[in-house]
Amino acid sequence: MNRIQLFRERMAAVGASAVLIQRPEDVGYLSGFTGSSAVLLFTPEHALFITDSRYAVQASAECPDFEHVVLSGGAGYDQTVAARARALGVKKLCVEGDYLTLSRFQALKEHLGGADPIALDPAADMVMPLRMIKDEDEIAVFREACLMADRAFEHILTWIRPGLTEREVALELEFHMRRAGAEREAFDTIVASGVRSALPHGRASDKLLEAGDFVTMDFGAKHRGYHSDLTRTLVLGPASELQKQVYQTVIDARDAAFALIRDGASGRAVDAAARDVIRDRGYGDFFGHGLGHGLGRVIHEGPPMLSPRSELTLRAGMIATVEPGIYIPDWGGVRVEDDLLVTDSGFEFLTHSTRELIEVAL
């Protein structure tokens, strides 16, 4: 079943007779379009792809299952959507209420008004329930994106040394992934060393790496629209006993989470299993973020997946990160993160870099 059919089933399930899709990630997911400007208009009988002249040829090649509409005569998207919706007899149009700004909603509402008004329904996310369960093609792309990250880390182990800046390490990781075929880095690469490794989102700075530092690297590749996300923490030189202890606590927390992950598991319970290990070892005050998030066409995809506030039940086909961390101010921190695919009986690793504590020889 293709994604148009799947989406029409979703429309029927929520009672929507017409839906306008404007979020770029949803447009790409449903149509296969890789450009930056288009909207989709769905009814039970029609699937319209609306774009401007820059993308007419590209869209005809990438989106063969749609009826194509190219903006013309100076009309913008709202005007064109209103005209096409009226021509299709639409009386109520579902829009992405969690994506449109108030001003964009009001502008669209004005174009849909007049003598033959079309009501607007700012519905909850229509596409995310479909995007959260990956199909075989998506999983194959994820494998490639994760391999790019794994190989970049493998390379950095042969290259990293004291005296480099965090920024230089980040650039080397990014260059290696791009050379392997990545569109770009999946997000702003994090490289945080020494006391800065206690910053969960410490962007790479001009700080020099020093012997004895923890170095946390959080990075990923965007490949064919999908994002990988890998974190490893290593030590430049021999690790201290405290560094070994903190690192092992993070690994044990991950293992506790892994024991629960499978189709039907509670996201909140998986988070709690890891969090309990960290708390019981005396580091509970130093782990503040959720255990993991969904991955896909955006780096944090979908509702909270593995966190104390998660209301999600894991399903086979979901892809998530698992990334416990301990961050001790003025000392340093550890995070170890992998991407995994939820299966009926457990999970499958998509990232494969070593999870052992690496002590870089100086």
Residues 347 and 249 in one domain: yes
Q: Which of 72, 107, 127 is the last residue of a domain?
A: 127
* Tokens of residue 344, six digits: 């009926």
Residues 324 and 177 in one domain: yes
Residues 123 and 172 in one domain: no
Residues 113 and 165 in one domain: no
The pLDDT assigned to 1 comes to: 62
Are the C-beta atoms of 179 and 206 separated by less than 8 Å? no
Residues 67, 61: Cα–Cα separation, whole Å = 12
Q: What CATH number corresponds to the domain at position 182?
A: 3.90.230.10
- Neighbour count for residue 61 (Cβ, 10 Å): 9
Residues 278, 285: Cα–Cα separation, whole Å = 9
Q: Considering only CA atoms, which of 276, 277, 25, 50 is closest in space to residue 138?
A: 25
Give the strand pairing for 184-185 and 325-328. unpaired
Residues 143 and 119 in one domain: no
Q: Which of 91, 106, 127 is the last residue of a domain?
A: 127
Residues 34 and 151 in one domain: no
Q: Which domain holds residue 351?
A: 136-360
Q: What CATH number corresponds to the domain at position 106?
A: 3.40.350.10
Residues 81 and 222 in one domain: no
Are the C-beta atoms of 38 and 28 separated by less than 8 Å? no
Residues 149 and 91 in one domain: no
Number of domains making up the chain = 2
How close are the terminal C-alpha atoms of the chain, in Å? Answer: 55
- Neighbour count for residue 358 (Cβ, 10 Å): 19
Q: Which of 81, 107, 127 is the last residue of a domain?
A: 127
Could you tell me the pTM of the whole model?
Answer: 0.94
Give Dmax over CA atoms of the chain in angstroms: 77
Residues 335 and 189 in one domain: yes
Residues 306 and 189 in one domain: yes
Residues 206 and 319 in one domain: yes
Residues 14, 124: Cα–Cα separation, whole Å = 10
pLDDT in tens, the chain (362 residues): 699 999 999 999 999 999 999 999 999 999 999 999 999 999 999 999 999 999 999 999 999 999 999 999 888 999 999 999 999 999 999 999 989 999 999 999 999 988 789 999 998 788 999 999 999 999 999 999 999 999 999 999 999 999 999 999 999 999 999 999 999 999 999 999 999 999 999 999 999 999 999 999 999 999 999 999 999 999 999 999 999 999 999 999 999 999 999 999 999 999 999 999 999 999 999 999 999 999 999 999 999 999 999 999 999 999 999 999 999 999 999 999 999 999 999 999 999 999 999 999 99
- Per residue, the 3-state secondary structure of the chain, as one string, reads CCHHHHHHHHHHHHCCCCEEECCHHHHHHHHCCCCCCEEEEECCCCEEEEECHHHHHHHHHHCCCCEEEECCCCCCHHHHHHHHHHHCCCCEEEEECCCCCHHHHHHHHHHCCCCCCCEEEEECCCCHHHHCCCCHHHHHHHHHHHHHHHHHHHHHHCCCCCCCEHHHHHHHHHHHHHHCCCCEECCCCEEEEHHHHHCCCCECCCCECCCCCEEEEEECEEECCEECCEEEEEEECCCCHHHHHHHHHHHHHHHHHHCCCCCCCEHHHHHHHHHHHHHHCCCHHHCCCCCEEECCCCCCEEEEEECCCCCCECCCCCEEEECCEEEECCCEEEECEEEEEECCCCEEECCCCCCCCCEECC
Residues 82 and 167 in one domain: no
Residue labelled with tokens 């894991």: 314
Residue labelled with tokens 């039970």: 44
- Neighbour count for residue 337 (Cβ, 10 Å): 22
